[in-house]
Structure 1
Amino acid sequence: MLPPNNTSIRRLSQEEGISEATLHKWRAEARGKGQLLPDADGGAEGWTSRDKFAAVLETAAMNEADLAEYCRKRGVFPAQIKAWRLACVQANDWDRASTTKMS
């Protein structure tokens, strides 16, 4: 399930002979311990909003070299982290933006 392979639960179940329910349970337990795991096969597109926010927090103080290493290990691109960071910053401006539009 983890990068760089990002194998789907269905495929992993078939290849390893482990039930999908067990794999879902293991993924939930890993997430409960703070590990970031995507929901789908689509790489970063399968990450939950919560996981994206956690990645933004984890990388906030990193320099470019550390960010690149972080991204390689997790199968995402630095540009995706930057886009997620921008989305997080803008998320709390929705009230101000909606008020401005109404004026």
Structure 2
Amino acid sequence: MARYRQTFKDRAIARMLPPESASVEQVAAETGISPAALERWRACALHASARDPSGTGAARLDMLLAASGLDEHERLAWCFGHGIEPGALDHWRQLAAAALAADAEGMAFDGRHERDQRRIRELERELRRKEQALAEAATLLVLEGKPGLRREPDTG
């Protein structure tokens, strides 16, 4: 079984992926490699990029920033050089934008939540004060209604 360098495999895989999108048969005719081997290489490359070779979100952000100033051709070469599918950068950019939007909404929610909690505490405090006043009024009414405990009016 013949062994090929990774750079050779990467060039063949790059020909089969966008923007070139050459057919497997065309690349097989050009390179002399069987179509089955080329399809296996492409599947492995796509599977490896789907496993997230970039690791963490911070690594993705670093890659987005690194590729942001490149033109389309340089960007594609950079992606294949780093083992990233070109569409992954666009997907990561969308995810980052959605995360930032969700974070902004969450911050607004936190502010509303704090105001609501403060208002709840104020209302509970007012409710306790009114319950105490009601209990005192009920006690006074009960005391006025009992014959032996009735207050005598001051006749000064």
Highest relative contact order (Cα 8 Å, sep 6+), 1 or 2?
Answer: 1
Please give the TM-score of this superposition, normalised by the length of structure 2. 0.34
* Structure with bigger gyration radius: 2
TM-score normalised according to structure 1 size: 0.49
